[in-house]
């Protein structure tokens, strides 16, 4: 089945540093990938839609300069949390879906998430 | 995007059948219904997807009435390892964006 891989799975860093998270679709191409964040005991919150070869679309309230998204190929999207602070600590999850010809009824497949802890 | 409503939590015992119902009154004609399972510190895992009537796979069944305003995920003979949060989502054929609701936290007891 479709596999989405995230790296790293866990990262701890000091306040003020930038952290890059990678999301790869391993056995399929995805023109669109999605980034979510999840706080403890809460549901997933969509942050942005990552579009291959174009700018990402951010949800309301999500700072685009804070969360930089790059979707340089059909199998890779990256999320960079810039100048991270403790309040950015969260569980970040990406998803992707096989798309053919711009349409798809295939389900989205999710990565296993990245636990980000900012000290 | 259709909003979904599910029970916040459910309890069951091993070996029982569990049915989780989701309401999606504003579902659009081209929306599919998809269920995911999530364990702590993991990404959601696809369980089943359907458009209408009944869909069955090796782990679950999905029942969708004719008006499609609700759906029921059926887990046969649950085990302790089925303790997780279950999310119901609706999304269109051409709409990739998925908005997660609260999900249902299922606790299975021995």
Name the pairing type of β-strands B61-64 and B53-56.
antiparallel
Contact at CB, B41 and A113, closer than 8 angstroms = yes
User: In percent, how much of chain A has pLDDT > 70?
Assistant: 92
User: pLDDT band for position A23 (50/70/90)?
Assistant: very high
- pLDDT band at residue B42 under the 50/70/90 scheme: very high
B37 Cβ under 8 Å from any chain A Cβ: no
Spatial contact of B34 and B49, defined as CB atoms under 8 Å apart = yes
Sequential DSSP letters for B49-80? EESSEEEE-SS-EEEE-TT-SEEEEEESS--G
The residue of chain B nearest to residue A96, with distances taken between CA atoms, is B96
B93 min Cα distance to partner chain A (Å): 5
d(CA B30, CA B39): 29
Pick from B49, B99, B100: CB nearest A107: B49
Q: Is the pLDDT of residue B65 over 70?
A: yes
Interchain proximity A43–B94, CB inside 8 Å:
no
Distance (Å) from the C-alpha of residue B102 to the closest C-alpha of chain A?
6
Average pLDDT over residues A30-49: 93
Residue B2 to residues A86, A103, B19, B24, B100, Cα–Cα distance (Å): 33, 19, 21, 6, 10
Mutation target to probe the A interface, by most A beta carbons within 10 A, among B96, B99, B107 is B96
Asked if B43 and A110 come within 8 Å (Cβ–Cβ), the reply is yes
- Judged by a CB distance cut-off of 8 A, whether residue A13 touches chain B is no
Q: Nearest-CA residue of chain A relative to B92?
A: A105
Helix, strand, coil shares, percent, chain B, to 5: 5, 50, 45
- List, for residues B9-21, the tens digit of each pLDDT value: 999 999 999 999 9
Q: Rounded to 10 degrees, what is the CA torsion of A53, A91, B82, B102?
A: -90
Q: What is the 3-state secondary structure (H, E, C) of A69-119?
A: EEEEECCEEEEEECCCCHHHCEEEEEEECCCECCECCCCCEECCCEEEEEC
């Amino acid at each position: 089945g479709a596999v989405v891989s995230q790296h790293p799975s866990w990262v701890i860093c000091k306040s003020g540093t930038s952290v890059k998270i990678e999301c790869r679709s391993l056995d399929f191409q995805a023109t669109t990938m999605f980034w979510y964040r999840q706080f403890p005991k809460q549901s997933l919150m969509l942050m942005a839609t990552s579009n291959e070869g174009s700018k990402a679309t951010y949800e309301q309230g999500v700072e685009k300069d804070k969360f930089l998204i790059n979707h340089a190929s059909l199998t890779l999207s990256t999320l960079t949390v810039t100048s991270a602070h403790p309040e950015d600590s969260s569980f970040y999850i990406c998803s992707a879906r096989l798309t053919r010809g711009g349409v798809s009824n295939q389900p989205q497949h999710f990565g296993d998430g990245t636990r980000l802890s900012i000290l | 995007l259709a909003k979904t409503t599910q029970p916040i939590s459910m309890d069951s015992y091993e070996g029982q059948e569990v049915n989780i119902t989701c309401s999606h009154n504003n579902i659009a004609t081209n929306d599919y219904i998809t269920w995911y399972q999530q364990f702590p510190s993991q990404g959601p895992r696809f369980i089943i997807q359907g458009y209408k009537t009944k869909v069955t796979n090796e782990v679950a069944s999905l029942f969708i009435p004719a008006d499609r305003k609700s759906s029921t995920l059926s887990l046969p003979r649950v085990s302790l390892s089925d303790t997780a949060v279950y999310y119901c989502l609706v999304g269109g054929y051409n709409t990739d964006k998925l908005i997660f609701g609260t999900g249902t936290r299922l606790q299975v007891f021995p």
